[in-house]
Chains A and B, each alone.
Chain A
Amino acid sequence: MGRRIMMLLALAALLTVMVGPVAAAEFGAKEPAYVPGEVLVQFKAQTTRATRAAALRDHGGTRLATLNAKGRLVRVKVKAGQSVEDAVAAYSADPRVEHAQPNYRYRARAVPNDPLVPQLWAIQNTAQQIVTTPPAPITRYERTDPYAPNNPPAGGGADLALARAWDEVTDCRAAIVAVVDSGVNFQHEDLAANMWASGDPAIPNPGWDFVDNDPDPTDQNGHGSHVAAIIGAVGNNGLGGAGVCWQARLMAVRVLDVLGVGDTATIIAGINFAAAHGAKVINLSLGGPAGQPTDLAFRQAIADAGAAGAVVVAAAGNEGTDNDVSPDVPCSFTLPNLICVAALDQGYALATFSNFGATTVTVGAPGTNIASAWAGQQAVVVEGFTTGWFGSSTTGGGWALGVVGVGGVPTPALLNPPTFPVGLYNSGTDDRAFKTLALGTPLAVRLDVALGGVVAPSDRLNIAFRAGAFDPFAAGCAAVSNCTVVFSDFGDTGGLAVPIGPFDMTRCMTDVSGQCTLGMQLVSAPGSRAQGVAVVRFDTRVLSADPRVYALVNGTSQATPYVAGIAAMVRAFNPQYTVADVVAAVTAGGRPVPALAGKTVTGRAADAMGALSFINAPTGLTATVR
Chain B
Amino acid sequence: MRTRILKAALAIAMLGIAGCGGGGGGAPAPTIEAAPGPTPAPTPTPTRTVGLTWAPNRETAVNQPGGGYVVFVDGVAAATVPFGTGPLAPAETTAQLASGTHTVTVAAFSNLNGGTTSAQSAPVTVTVP
Contacts and interface: CB of A to CB of B under 8 A. Distances in A.
Contact of A619 (B11, B54, B77): B54
A388 to B, nearest CB: 64
Given A10-B30, A574-B58, A626-B49, A618 B121 contact: yes
A24 B55 contact: no
Given A28-B109, A168-B112, A581 B8 contact: no
Name the residue in B29, B49, B70, B94 with the highest tally of chain A Cβ atoms < 10 Å from its Cβ: B70
Contacts of B70: 22, 24, 27
Contact of A622 (B49, B54, B80, B118): B54
B51 A11 contact: no
A69 interface: no
Contact of B59 (A8, A26, A616): A616
A575 B30 CA distance: 36
B111 A617 contact: no
Interface string B82-102: 000000000100100000000
Contacts of B9: 11
Given A22-B70, A616-B57, A621 B116 contact: no
A14 B117 contact: no
A263 B46 CA distance: 71
B66 interface: yes
B117 A613 contact: no
Nearest to A6: B30
B104 interface: yes
A31 interface: yes
Interface string B1-31: 0000100110110111100000000000110
B58 A626 contact: no
Nearest to B112: A613
Given A11-B5, A618-B69, A626-B50, A27 B115 contact: yes
Interface string B52-76: 1111011111100011111000001
B50 A18 contact: no
Contacts of A30: 66, 111, 114-115
A272 B72 CA distance: 45
A383 B111 CA distance: 63
A1 interface: no
Interface string A586-621: 000000000000000000000001001111111111
Nearest to B92: A622
A615 B117 contact: yes
A578 interface: yes
Nearest to B75: A21
A621 B107 contact: no
Given A11-B8, A14-B11, A22-B80, A618 B55 contact: yes
Given A22-B78, A621-B104, A615 B113 contact: yes
Of B5, B30, B59, the most chain A CB neighbours within 10 A belong to: B59
B44 interface: no
Nearest to B87: A576
Contacts of A622: 52-54, 124
A136 interface: no
Interface residues of B, number: 64
A255 B72 CA distance: 52
Interface in A336-374: none
A623 B50 contact: yes
A462 B46 CA distance: 95
Contacts of A620: 53-55
Contacts of A576: 58, 60
Contacts of B40: none
A29 interface: yes
A387 interface: no
Nearest to B114: A30
Interface string A1-39: 000001110110011011011111111111100000000
A14 B54 contact: no
A28 B50 contact: no
A574 B51 contact: no
A484 to B, nearest CB: 53
B126 interface: yes
Contact of A28 (B5, B17, B116, B123): B116
Nearest to B65: A31
A471 B22 CA distance: 78
Contacts of B129: 625
A14 B13 CA distance: 10
A576 B60 CA distance: 8
A574 B59 contact: yes
Contacts of A574: 58-60
Nearest to A26: B115
Contacts of A614: 59
A217 B108 CA distance: 44
27 contacts: A11-B12, A14-B8, A17-B11, A17-B15, A17-B17, A18-B14, A23-B77, A24-B116, A25-B115, A27-B68, A27-B70, A27-B117, A28-B115, A30-B111, A578-B58, A615-B57, A615-B61, A616-B58, A616-B59, A616-B108, A617-B107, A617-B120, A618-B121, A621-B121, A622-B54, A622-B124, A623-B51
Interface of A: 6-8, 10-11, 14-15, 17-18, 20-31, 168, 573-578, 581, 609, 612-626
Given A28-B116, A573-B61, A617-B108, 8 more contacts: A11-B12, A21-B77, A22-B77, A28-B115, A30-B115, A612-B61, A614-B59, A618-B69
